[in-house]
Every structure is written in C-alpha cells, then in structure tokens.
Structure 1
Amino acid sequence: MQLDWLKPLADLEGPFACATIDASNLDPTSRSHRLASWGSARRELERSGADEATLAVLEEAMTGGANGVGERTHVACASNGSLVLDMGLDGRPRREASSFGAVPRLMDVVRGLDGKETYAVVKLDREGADIEVIDPTGALVSATDVTGDHDELRKVAAGGASQRRFQARAEDSWKHNATQVAAELDRLVRRVRPGVVFLEGEEHMTSYLVEQAPGMLGDRIVRLGTGGRAAGTSEAAEVAARERELARRRAERDAQLVERFGDATGAGSAVEGWEAVQAAIAKAQVAHVLLCPDAWDDEGQPERGTGGGQELRQSPSEQPRQDHDQDALLWALATVGAELSLIAQPFEAKDGIGAILRWNDGSVRPA
C-alpha cells in the first residue's frame, strides 16, 4: 500500500486527536449507537488532554452524515483545531479506539484499506450495461448507464429463412451493443485504472464484450456467474462472488510479496526484525515493509521477538527506547515514501516484520 495519503499529515505539527468508531448504518438505532460511541471517545480524549477547538472539529466530523450504508467504520483525526483526516471504511472496526499524542493513530485505516482496490462492476444485458466504480473504502465513485442504439434484441420463431434472418439481426444488435459498452469501459479503465472489472450478466453478452475488449480492459475483466441487470438477481450472491475474487487476489499478492522478500533476503537486500527495519527506515533505505498482523496483539505490541523500538521519525541515537509502535512505523514510512503491506498468510520474519531495501551500503545487516 502506498502511504501518500498520510504524507501531508507528516508535515503538520501535533499533537493529534484521533478516533475510530463503529459508524454502521443498518437501522433507526444506528445513529444513537454512533453518538454514544463518539461520546465515549470524546471523554477519553478530554482525559488525555485534547483541547476544546480540536474536539469540536472532530465532533462535527463524527456526528455528521451517515458516512455510507451498511457496516462501516469512521476514522477521523484533528490537530490544533483543524480536521486533518476524515475517512469512512467498509466493514465494522476491529475495535473502537481514541488517542491523543504526537503521532496520529491510523493503523485502523491501514487495516481497513490493505488489500483493497478500486474496482468496477458491470451489469450487462442485451440493451447495454450499468457500470459502477467502487473505491477501496467501499464508497461509490461513479455510476454510468450505457444503452446501445441497436434495438433488434429478440430472436423470433418466424420459420425458414426469415427466422435465420431475424436471429442474425438480433445477434448483430447484441454484438453492436456489447461493443458500445466495451468502448465506454475502455475509456473508464484508462481514466480510473480499476484493479479489476467484474462482469455480470447473460453468457452470450459477456462473451461478446470480452471479444471486443482492448488489452488494458481485457486484462482486468473477471467474469462472474451472476445475473447482471436481470430481475430477481441476488445482490447477496453478487457481493459474495466479488469478495471471493478480491480475497483470492489478496492471497496471490501476499504470496508474491513473501516470495519477493525471500529473493531479496537471498540477495542481501532485505532486513527483518523491528530494530533492523527501524535502522533502515532512518537511512531512507526501505522500499517496502511487510508486516504480519498475527505477530502483534490488539494493543499493537509484538507477540514475539525481543527488544524495544524508538520513535521512528528520528534516529535511534536521538530517542529513548520504548515499546514497538505500529503507528510510528506508518509515520516514518510516509516520510520516506515507502510502501506497507499487511501479510495475512504465515510470514516468517523476526518480530513479524521485514523490509525490502532500495539499496544497502553495508551499514544495515541483511535478514
């Protein structure tokens, strides 16, 4: 995951007040639960020393709009009376939390976004398609209705040569409409660059569209065995099919990253363990950090490994030793422009953390 969204915050002066609450919008009681969650977070922030101006802007964000429908997480962060981050994420939070300190606590955002990607959903029938683009937070980015201009849409049983002629005209219309949808999708893919394009609908139409899809679009298409725009199509089945494919893609990504880390280790261009990764970050040597969440408890402390970490924004010699801190890790990675991936599959590295280096001058001991 690129941490570009965090870099502007790294240039700001704290302290930062952050809150993560369950903002699910499921029934009429949801808002009262959300207000109660924010009330609890506000009291904790007050006890931690957050100033009133900062609390006020945070409260406005947390108690505002519904922030999406269904199970949702709301994360917001404010500093010195200004709102610096306001984000809704798909799904419930692992836990509700609040913090006030020099480093914003934003690992909940990373957990919510890691492995997610922008994708398009195409619900296709003989007349055209409904196209939606969903971003990594689960929010709808755009919705487009493409209707073809050919209207010989049904095969008819007219008999003899007439029947064959009508059937051919109908199929020509379907292919023409599929071509128009493909052209619109190609423009969208070039503009938005979704990671995957889910294609749902009648088999003949999806086949026609795939045949017409240019390379950039064709490489992203995943055909799902669901009903597209047809009446009675199960939305739950569609969502489940997409989630299975996204989970498969994440597992594939994890496997590739672990293999890449292994290759880098063999080449002497990777390090493992909190202290070694931290030293490499301090010298801006890190290109990509791999972190295994199972190696950390709910308080962000390591389940295994020894030794403490330091505030990662400064060199080890300038800071006292303290507990490992995932949020300080995010902060440091953002400042040096490195990527972070949370690895869901088993990942063997000291302290559950490893880094692939941009370069190694010999001062950092490889893994």
Structure 2
Amino acid sequence: MSDHASPRIAIIGAGTAGLTCAYQLRQRGLSPVIFEKSRGIGGRLATRRTDHGDAYDHGAQFVTARDPAFVDLLANLQQAGAAVAWSPRLPEQAPRPAHTWWIGASGMSALVRPLADAPDIRLRSTVSALRRHAGQWELQLAEQDHAEHFDAVVVTAPAPQARALLAGVSPLTDALEHVDIAPCWAAMLAFDAPLDVSFEAARFDAGPIAWIARQSSRGGLVGHRDRWLVHAAPEWSAAHLEDAPDEVLTLMLSALAERTGVALPPIAFAQAHRWRYAMTTRPLGQPMLADASGRLWVGGDWCLGARVESAFQSGLAMAQAIGAAW
C-alpha cells in the first residue's frame, strides 16, 4: 500500500463506539465499512416497535454527559432536534439526578443516527471469523462464502464476543479476560388501563426489579396504551439467563406487582428481551486496546464503564489513534 492510498478499514459493530469511530474517521477523509449483525444501528440505544404500533426504549434508558466532547455532541443533537431532556416524575423519596437525563427525540437510536449519515453500514452482517493474512485482515461473514480484506480492523463488540473473535489471532485477548459485563432481562408491557402509581420512572436497589419507566413519558415514543419498560436486576438476570422468555415474563410481572404494591391492570402486550451483555461491572480501565503493528483496535463502553458516554470516549480514542497511523 502506498503512502497515499486510502486504507480499507472495517469496523465491527454499529453501536455508539463503532459509529463514533466511523464518524470521526470520515472527518479525517477515511471511508470505513461497518459490519453490524443486527437489523438496525445503535446497539443498546435501541427502540423496539411492535406490530400494534407501540414503541419501547428497551435498552439504555437515558444518557448523561460529563466529558466536554460528549457535552458538545449532545448540545448539537439537541439543537438538531434529535435529543431532548427527560424529566419523569420520580418517587418522592428518590434523589434528584445530578446530571440531565437525555433521550432520543424519537427513540434512543435517534442519538446516534446523525453519526451514521453516509457511511457504508452493512446490517445483518455477522463477522464469524477474523484472521491475519499477507499483511491484511480477512473477515469471514456468516452470510457469504467469500472473505473480505481490509488494511485495519476495529472491533467494538462486547468484551466476551471480542475475545472469542480474536482468540488465537491477537494477544489483546489477555486483557479482555479481566472485563466483566452483567446481563439484563427487559420486559416491554402494555396495559389496558393505567398502572396506578404516582411516578413515571423508578430505580430500585434490591430485589428482582432494578428499573421501571412509563414509555409515554418519553416524548417521541408512539403508543396509545399505558406502556412500561421493566429492567430486571443484574444478579436476577444472571440467575435466569437461560430461562425461556415466557417464564421470565411471568416472574417479572409478579415481581413488578410486589414492588409497586398495586394490582396490575389487564395485560394487552408483554414481551421479554434478553440483553446478554448489558452493563459493565468491571471495566478495562483505559479507553481502548491497540495493536498498531497489526493495525487492530478494540473498544467499547466496557473499556471505561457502563455509560453511553464511555462508548463515545472509546470510539473517539480509537479514531484518533487510527488517524495517527495514516
């Protein structure tokens, strides 16, 4: 490759870290290709829309900003109408948030959609194998027979998935063994009558239920019924990780009635979703991992913590490192 050739860069994952990295690389004149195994972008900044026309933010519930660059991004998103402040009614005894809660104006994925403007994003494309060959990276996709070749690779999958993909390929896997990520079961519920509680969102420190939020309090989420999103606690989710979704729903509904202390109205819709890698409990402690000689970078929110801001910081750091390599 000549000094003036534009390198082919593959980014695995279209969550916040991958999209941030791709956006920053495009600002530097590079044209990365993003491979995303899901049918949409955003990762845990996800919005589920049902056949009944209801919408649920069933992953990350809001974002907060401390890093100046992320503060600036949210300010730009607000000005563009993509982000809005969310101030739901909380239980009387709940402490007030120390930072503004930001949500997507039309669902959480709206926060990253501006970062996905124009790049080559290949949805439903699962990278099943990765290997180094003749000075390049070969990416094998589960959906096609032939491999694709790139000069550099960015892996933004959750640490356990990144470790599996890089096993036997890169020594970076050793550092990934020290990262822990907890799962989360999410229940999307719609009732025929309003749930008789005085709050719109609540966090709980003990028991099976960790968080509940009324979806109609989230501005741009469409729906005509009283809709709630319930997140199970990490420990409970781990204990029931392989249970069938219907079994999980039964248990979560019972726990919800006990936690709120009210009888649940007739259920119009109920669906469980398992986030196998939901919340970092032991981060890497640095914004990314880099093998500059092999032109491999690995990152995600799990590098620095459990916040969406952590994913943004990781994606930004990887883009800066890649930009310095060319």
On whether the aligned pair clears a TM of 0.5, the verdict is no
Short-chain TM bin: under 0.3
Per chain length, whose mean CA-contact separation is higher, i.e. which structure has more relative contact order (CA < 8 Å, sep 6+)?
A: 2
TM-score normalised by L of structure 1 = 0.21
Whichever structure has more strand as a proportion of its residues is 2
Which structure has the greater CA radius of gyration? 1
